[in-house]
Chains A and B, each alone.
Chain A
Amino acid sequence: MLKLIIKKEILTALRDIRLQISGGILIVLMLTAVLVGRQGQRKIGVERTKAQSAMYDKWLNQGNKHPHSAAHYGQFAFKPKPVLSFLDVGLDNYTGISVFLEAHKQNEILFSAAQDSNGMTRFGEMTAALILQVLLPLLIIFLTFNIFSKEREEGTLKLIHAQGLSLRQLFLGKVWGTYLMVLLIFLPIIVLAYLLLDDQSVNLDGGVTMKFLSLTSGYAIYFLVFVLLCVLISAFAKSSGFSLLLLLGLWIVSCIILPKATTNLADKVYPSPSQFEFRKTIKDKVKKGIDGHNPSDVRLASLKQQVLDQYGVSTIEELPVNWSGIAMQAGEEYTDQVYDSEFSKIEEIFKRQNRLSEWAGFVNPYLAVRNLSMALAGTDFEHHIAFARAAENYRRAFVKKMNKDMEVNHKPGVGYGDYNVGMEMWASIEPFSYQLPSTGTILSNQWRSITALVFWLVILFFLANIYAPKISKL
């Protein structure tokens, strides 16, 4: 009997010209978004890889020079374009894409695409995510807003009930029928998207299949939540018109208004300092010491004493190692320490802001799926931070190596210009590479969004179970 209802729902839907058109439009949009998006993503990906290796070449071929000059010459880190970003571009257009790595300084990750575009960019990019998160729910609304009221208005609800079908079964039949229709649109395109992944994508990100599957499941749950919600509302709405108005209102609030309002609110609740304050704090703390009682000259003097004692000599000239190299590395490490503590404060503020919208997923399932999708596509804030960390660690490692070489091999008494190293030294620094966070890390970061989605699913099934028998037949 349940199967019959499902079949009937699908047949009615398929025969409806309005749904044929809107479903058709969605499929065409999805195809365009996936195919063009993949092409664009590949192009950008190739360009960044090329830029990365070209810059490494320049590092290798910088000629002979003092290791500290090389540390100033510096290196670049380019953010790899995540494979799945063609499904959900997330924050990618708003975060910088490359960073210059040099001695003494933590540079910013610069040059976001949004800065190079006119206002149009702010309207978003057509991606599978936009379609699945925003447009497909609208199709669900069109499929379901009169799913009960129409039968009621035509008097068929009573007839069906007279056939001995319980209202609960009827309810579930309508839910699964609609859901299957949604999957009919969703799955073929998702399979196509999967087929677009190639060996190269797997090389770039080993966990890509796992991420893809999680992403698909996330969306599958989201659609079920939306179908349940719509069928429930339609079952208890007085008329088709009212149910449509209510559902559209809900859609506008949850997909258009709330996301913006939530983020803006988060910014007010957890204010962040300006770049100026941030840099000034770091500068002050490096100068005066983290606790404010350990100024840089005192630190330097005590380090000097310590090194002198270690080698059992009384002046710098007598040291068997290069004092400048030691001092520079110590300065570098102190700055790093200050920078880390200040940067993690900012990071924490931004994470708190984002967490607010993750929690809001319990109120608005759209936010839950948006955050989860971005995370799995590799385009959320966590991924940006992961890249920033990897780049900074790489910087520290190569600068340290340069300083160490200077400390050990640049003998005292030899002029700065007279101690040079070359290609062999440069090649001992591996090219920058960065592994995207694993699926496990992402999913555990996103536990709030996942719980929110599951919470919605459970609650709605629960409500359906209680209220389905109470659906009015008249």
Chain B
Amino acid sequence: MKTLFHILSFEWKTLWRSSTLKILLLVVIGAGIYGIFFGKFEIDKQQQRIAQVQQYERQQFDSLLVWVKLDTTFEANKEKYQKAVSPTGVGWNKHFTYYLTHDAPPAAGLCLGQRDLFPVYYGFNVTDLARQVNVGELANPMKLLTGNFDLSYVIVFLFPLLVVALFYNLYAGEREGGTLSLLQSQPASLRMILFSKGLLRLLIVWLLATVLFVLGFVLQGVSIGGNIALFFQWLLIIYGYCLLWTLLMGIVVWLRQSAALSAMMGLGVWLVFTLITPALLNLFVLAKEPLPNRAEMIHTVRNLNDQNWEKPRSFVLDKFYPENPQYNPVDTTDFSKWYYASFTLLDKEANALKAQFEEQVKKRNALLKKWEWLAPAALVHERLSQLSDTDRESHLEFVKEVHAYHQELKDLYYARIFKGEQFSSDDLQTLKERL
């Protein structure tokens, strides 16, 4: 044990004197800090957009609350009052557009994941949801392609390179520097010396990762105490990932080749695991299992919508009432009832189809998942985005929330529409509480 500490402290002194190490560490720290700020910038941008949408929604709803109290004996107030109290809206304008936002989870800024591919808010009224969620966010596809320079990127891509740079001349450096025979004449075995040297380097990498990670929490203003489980899970994954690369480089060192060849081999391993295998997997899976043609869904909805309009009203209502017995079929000729009933049919059809597509997509992604272990970089990135709640799954969860919220609103609206009633001031208060 004493020798170990002795070697460690000696190796540390040697390492610390080399300017290469300092430059390397500076570059990685610099990249890490840039990544932290970049992540914060992106999340702040998303949060700003969310705040903007929410503010607009509140403002709009507040005017409804004012309008409902207007004195309708004045002719000028009548239209506004109608706009506030009519659940079916006035003319072709719907009563109100609600927004549901996908707030950034605490550690989103550390790993932006797939969040940039999807909208972080949806706006919808109580007509069919199917046609209202077919929106994206305005984004430069070039930016989506090149991806985000966040902390997870630094860890997944650049840390392995740091490991390669620290390890490639672990043995060859001594041999080519002429110090190998000196080492061999020491009482400690060469294996012990090399192991200690490797251990020290691993400790440096771990320490650096920890420092950057803690900095990430601090600089992004995320509380560590409040997210303690997340914090340690992240840290564990990072440590494991660095250890994996250390072991891989251990094999390279064990081969005892020249420094140049070891560096090339290290880089080769890096290329294989971070670039080549994921790219090959994507190539094969995309070629083998093309994605479903989702335009089919829009077509189905428009087709049903077309039928709803072309056929007599009973076409819709005869299907609607048996499935929604809570709405009493008193009047089957009323336009509004037919109109709103038709949206339920559209959504039902669309959801069934959507579930089918999702099944297809899941099957395809399961194929990618099955081979994920071949691409540890992709695997770790996926786990980190899972932990940070920024993966595709997190967006699907959000879409589920949108569906639930839409249904909740619909229940409130339909209760009035199918009784032919208007909103009272209290109704609007209830709705406001659900914003």
* Residue positions of A touching B, CB distance < 8 A: 18, 22, 29, 32-33, 36-37, 39-40, 43-44, 47, 51, 55, 58, 62-63, 65, 69, 72-74, 76, 78, 90-91, 93-96, 98, 100, 102, 107-108, 110-127, 130, 134-135, 138, 142, 145-146, 240-241, 244-245, 248, 252, 256-257, 259-264, 266-268, 271-278, 280, 346, 350, 353-354, 357, 381, 384
Contact = CB atoms under 8 A, between A and B. Distances in A.
A72 to B, nearest CB: 8
A98 B276 CA distance: 30
Given A73-B302, A94-B145, A127-B283, 15 more contacts: A43-B287, A51-B296, A69-B309, A91-B142, A117-B282, A118-B382, A123-B279, A124-B275, A124-B282, A125-B282, A142-B264, A241-B260, A264-B38, A264-B148, A264-B149
B335 interface: no
A120 B281 CA distance: 8
A146 B260 contact: yes
Given A32-B283, A263-B143, A120 B378 contact: yes
B18 interface: no
B82 interface: no
A145 B153 CA distance: 28
B243 interface: no
A464 to B, nearest CB: 24
A347 to B, nearest CB: 10
A117 B365 contact: yes
B378 A275 contact: no
B114 A119 contact: yes
A51 B291 CA distance: 13
Closest 4 A/B residue pairs (Cβ)? A40-B287, A123-B278, A126-B279, A126-B283
A272 B45 CA distance: 11
Most buried by A among B176, B275, B378: B275
B277 to A, nearest CB: 9
Nearest to A134: B275
A220 B145 CA distance: 25
Most chain B CB atoms below 10 A, which of A116, A130, A280, A350? A116
B290 A354 contact: no
Contacts of A29: 276, 280
A63 B283 CA distance: 42
Given A94-B144, A119-B382, A263-B146, A275 B119 contact: yes
B218 interface: no
Given A275-B137, A353-B142, A118 B161 contact: no
Interface stretch (B7-15, B232-240, B319-327, B368-376): B368-376
Contacts of A263: 140, 142-143, 146
Given A110-B136, A110-B294, A125 B141 contact: no
Contacts of B139: 272
Given A124-B279, A124-B282, A275 B136 contact: yes
Interface string B109-120: 000011001110
Interface in B285-322: 286-288, 290-296, 298-299, 302-303, 306, 309-310
B340 to A, nearest CB: 18
A381 B282 contact: no
A47 B287 contact: no
A261 B368 CA distance: 28
B31 interface: yes
Contacts of A276: 49, 52-53, 56, 121, 123
A37 B287 contact: yes
A271 B135 CA distance: 20
Contacts of A90: 145
20 contacts: A51-B296, A65-B310, A72-B302, A74-B302, A78-B295, A90-B145, A96-B136, A110-B294, A114-B117, A115-B118, A116-B361, A117-B365, A119-B382, A119-B385, A119-B392, A120-B281, A123-B375, A241-B260, A252-B161, A267-B140
Contact of A40 (B117, B135, B283, B306): B283
A268 B141 CA distance: 15
B142 A381 contact: yes
Contacts of A278: 138
B263 interface: yes
Contacts of A74: 302
B217 interface: no
Interface in B82-122: 113-114, 117-119, 121
Contacts of B140: 263, 266-267, 272, 350, 353-354, 381
A100 B161 contact: no
A244 to B, nearest CB: 5
Nearest to B139: A272
A73 B288 CA distance: 33
A286 to B, nearest CB: 13
A263 to B, nearest CB: 4
A63 B310 contact: yes
A142 B368 CA distance: 32
Contacts of B391: 118-119
Nearest to A46: B290
B382 A274 contact: no
A240 B310 contact: no
Contacts of A94: 117, 141, 144-145
B105 to A, nearest CB: 16
B378 A119 contact: yes
Contacts of B377: 123
Interface in B22-73: 31, 34, 38, 41, 45, 49, 52-53, 56
A451 B184 CA distance: 57
Contact of B306 (A62, A264, A268, A277): A62
B406 interface: no
A261 B149 contact: yes
Contacts of B310: 63, 65, 69
Interface centre among A111, A127, A134, A384, by most chain B C-beta atoms within 10 angstroms, is A111
Given A94-B141, A108-B135, A125 B149 contact: no
Contacts of B264: 18, 142, 244
